[in-house]
Structure 1
Amino acid sequence: MLATEKQYVHWQQNQNSRSACWLSESNQLPPARIVLVDDKTTADQAYRLACEGTSLLWNGDFHNARQLLQALTRRIERTNKRSEQRKTSKAKAATAADNADDTTNQSLATAKQIPNLFHQQRQAQAQRSRILSRLLLELAPGYSSQLRRAPDLTAACTAAFGELDEPCLLSFRDLQGALGAAQWRAKGVPIKGLDLSIFPHYGVFAPTRHEYVQLLLDAPLPASCNVAFDIGSGTGLLAIILAQRGLKQVIATDLNPRAMACASENFTRLGLSNVQLQQADLFPTAAPLANLIVCNPPWLPAKPSSPLEYAVYDANSAMLRGFLQGAKQHLAAQGEVWLILSDLAEHLQLRTRDELLGWFAAAGLAVKYRLDTRPKHGRSQDDTDPLFAARSSEVTSLWCLQPA
């Protein structure tokens, strides 16, 4: 989906001045410095230029561009690994020097390093994204490519970015994202515990972690539960679960137009007549009071760096706190709030359990019960991850809240 005000990028090619519409899903500014690269450009040359801030406009074989991106990724990973090893060695040396023969102090010192490790990882990820996004492709009107062995890009790019009748420049990574989203949209994401698949759209966070699905199936519905809200619906998965559990009316809200279109398509595929969609910032308007309000907010209180990251990161826990503050006034008598939330932020020392409980109390809500589950995704099992201690301790919970 293109921004309201188009931006253009300008460069020199074969002594001619060129320009094209600039597309960037992460809202990056048009590149200021562009050089032409092709199949003769080595990965080391490309990596050096990209690290210096130079964008690389690809003029070679399409599949070779993919291989170059993979080669750049390997160089970034090697650089980051060496950097992490140096930082870890320095931290261990400092901890050993300051806390010799003091196991308790060593544990405390290690715990204090966790937030720094998290922020360092995010900085490394942002730098990785910047470098990889500097490999660019030019597409003709209608998203056609003149590169050798280029696939048909029209349908995937139109679905991701909207109709475009002029040349454009975009990063190869954004193009790969559009192609990957098109495959997911065609094949769907099977949901464990449910006999169905969800079909994500480009720019909508895909429900690849399913541990909370069983929590929603196990939680007992409130008495006389006729109306439910799904706040921040995304792909619509939670609303689908509620509808399949027999709720007469489910109102799903989201502010993101991409999410609205995605959820609508998923509801239509399943023939759900008891689900309504409303574009809203949190709670629906002109709606009855709800017997049940469900929300799966972003789990980590950190600033998003791209539109897709809004599904994961919630700066200052703004959405979470706003949801809690407004929930009570939208509840019917004997109504309940189901909050799906991981405690990873607590293990990363980005938020404390006391803070969370304090927000419940400030919103006039009390804990009725809590259902817990452990994640089984790959990163929680990877003991080479510097944040393994936090990830392996993570618990995902369904907090059932009611008016205090």
Structure 2
Amino acid sequence: MNDPVICWSEDNEEKSARWRCEKGLPPPKRVQVIDDRMPADTAYRLACEGTALLWRGDFQNARQLLQAMARRVDKKKPEKNPRQQPVFTPAEAFHRHRLAQSQRARTLEKLLIPFNPDHTIPLRRAPDVHAACLEAYGACTVAYIASLRELLGLIGAYEWRKKGIEIAALGMTIHPHYGVFAPIRSEYVKLITQAPLPKLLATQSIAFDIGTGTGVLAAALASRGVQHITATDQDPRALTCGRDNLTRLNLLNQVELVQADLFPAGQAALIVCNPPWIPARPSSPLEHAIFDPESRMLRGFLHGLRDHLLADGEGWLILSDFAEHLGLRTREELLQMIDAANLKVLGRTDIKPHHPRVSDTSDPLHAARAAELTSLWRLAVK
């Protein structure tokens, strides 16, 4: 058994259990057993010092302790003289924000809770989390330890899956699975429903959806009458999620799901891709749908189009200019990537995001969010 193991001392005994962490981080080396008597200030100090806190008290009190620790993390320091405040470029502000987020997560993830082999929690007033954990972790036969913060994320994702997300542009509900990018910001789906379809689809009704995730774009293409769609993803969770959604929508007769890194075999009249929008390194597997190191997926999509498009076919690239406003990629660099892939731009349609963070002036990245546009780039081989 190669699963990571967390070890600690409790009641003068050396104990161990399986360690679970969706980020793939190793088990903490320092573990202290605590309960309801632990003051929040002490817990926060220990977590900041790198000590993991294994909870043995009431579950609801553990949630309250986590909230108290979060308040301490988020407590704003007294403002300095505005004239002495350093001025950061958008890129510097982004990296500082990411670093602060990472440090915050690292501290709050130090509060741990135990699980039984059947995904129940052996703590007073613990909720029934069996279904949420089974979806994320699968069947289990041994007891394990995990972060309370991670568990709350599992519960939130499970509720999203049950409730689903209404996609107004499609008149459909999409149910995201844990670990699969949720189309909460669905304005890009509207772009897919409104762009003029390539004329070639009238005679060769074949499309590829690259990096399908929940299957929402494959569903959009199917709703527009495309007869044969191959939807790819390299993540087994995404393929399961896409299959679940397309089955529920009765679209599997039009859509085939294939595990692949980018393109399937063959060629299509239309190839659609909504790659991660920000060229930065993800800090966890769950962030791969948002961050694309060195624009690898974007470059891979662009350079693969030439070989996989039928003559007179089109590639549709869904991309936000958020990275441009952050100073992480310029428009000129994007156009150079398109040109280097021997592609030309047939047209571009823009849409303004309407999510709540656009108007949140307290967000360190507010200026970039307020200026952001999401675009559908219609591309063709030169």
Paired residue type of 2:262: L
- Residues 334-349 of structure 1 mapped to structure 2, 5 A cutoff: 334-349=312-327
CA distance in 1, matches of 2:82, 2:5: 43
Change (3 A) 1:86 1:118: farther
> Which ranges of structure 1 fall in alignment gaps of 5 or more residues?
93-109
SS in 2 for 1:208: coil
Counterpart of 1:186 in structure 2 is 162
Counterpart of 1:32 in structure 2 is 29
Counterpart of 2:262 in structure 1 is 282
* Greater per-residue helix proportion: 1
Paired residue type of 1:179: I
Change (3 A) 1:22 1:88: farther
Deviation at residue 86 of structure 1 after TM alignment: 4.8
CA distance in 2, matches of 1:231, 1:88: 47
Change (3 A) 1:89 1:72: farther
CA distance in 2, matches of 1:245, 1:395: 24
**Do residues 371 (structure 1) and 368 (structure 2) align?**
no
Number of aligned positions between the proteins? 378
CA distance in 2, matches of 1:376, 1:322: 29
Deviation at residue 65 of structure 1 after TM alignment: 1.1
CA distance in 2, matches of 1:318, 1:201: 25
CA distance in 2, matches of 1:219, 1:193: 13
**Do residues 202 (structure 1) and 169 (structure 2) align?**
no
> Which ranges of structure 2 fall in alignment gaps of 5 or more residues?
none
Deviation at residue 89 of structure 1 after TM alignment: 5.7
Counterpart of 1:107 in structure 2 is none
Paired residue type of 1:82: K
Counterpart of 1:101 in structure 2 is none
Counterpart of 1:147 in structure 2 is 123
SS in 2 for 1:57: strand
Any runs of at least 4 consecutive aligned residues in structure 1 with deviations exceeding 4 A, and if so which?
85-89
Whether the aligned pair in 1 keeps the contact of 2:200 and 2:313 (CA below 8 Å) is no
Paired residue type of 2:41: D
**Do residues 304 (structure 1) and 299 (structure 2) align?**
no
Alpha-carbon displacement from aligned partner over 1:100-132 (angstroms, at most 9, x marks no partner): xxxxxxxxxx6x621111000000000011011
State the percentage of identical aligned residues: 52
Q: CA RMSD in A?
A: 1.5
**Do residues 90 (structure 1) and 70 (structure 2) align?**
no
Change (3 A) 1:247 1:87: farther
TM-score by length of 2: 0.96
SS in 2 for 1:308: helix
Counterpart of 2:241 in structure 1 is 262
CA distance in 2, matches of 1:87, 1:257: 52
- Residues 5-404 of structure 1 mapped to structure 2, 5 A cutoff: 5-78=2-75, 81-82=76-77, 85-86=79-80, 90-91=84-85, 113-225=89-201, 226-272=205-251, 273-285=253-265, 287=266, 289-404=267-382
Deviation at residue 13 of structure 1 after TM alignment: 1.0
Deviation at residue 254 of structure 1 after TM alignment: 0.3
Alpha-carbon displacement from aligned partner over 1:157-203 (angstroms, at most 9, x marks no partner): 11101111111000011111221122111111111322111111111
TM-score by length of 1: 0.91
Deviation at residue 216 of structure 1 after TM alignment: 0.8
Change (3 A) 1:86 1:160: farther
